[in-house]
Structure 1
Amino acid sequence: MRGPAPAPHPRPATRTPRARRLKICTVQPGLLFPHAVQAIEFKRRRNNRRTGKTTIKNIYAVTSFTPDQAIAS
């Protein structure tokens, strides 16, 4: 008698690498965000293997951390 089947992996491994780009810049006072010190743009490009269509997602963020305070995690 066999035991229960293993649970499927929550996210199957992809065969094609995903391209990601990150831009970070220090901002000048006067933005609409009064405490903004750095602005970040995160761009992700993904290719659908079935359709061949490329999807690009842009994510933007603003932080009050200075470059010395910010750490990569």
Structure 2
Amino acid sequence: MFILGGLALAVKRTAPLGIIILAPFVAVIFFYHLLLGGSAAWATGWAGGLLLLAWHHRSAFVPLVTFDRS
């Protein structure tokens, strides 16, 4: 799944799909480094990177949170 998510990020059209695929893995990495690894800076870097990518592609996620009855 890492390779699929990374390849999806490499193509502009499928980058939001790559973010969605990689989000659970980044969450696990975040909590591992925060709680078990003792490196809050490394944990923040992983989560911050994903959040920056998600913010850059935020317009692609609008249909996930809106409901249109047309």
Q: Normalized against structure 1, the TM-score is what? A: 0.21
Give the structure with the higher percent strand. Answer: 1
Give the structure with the higher percent helix. Answer: 2
Which structure has the greater CA radius of gyration? 1
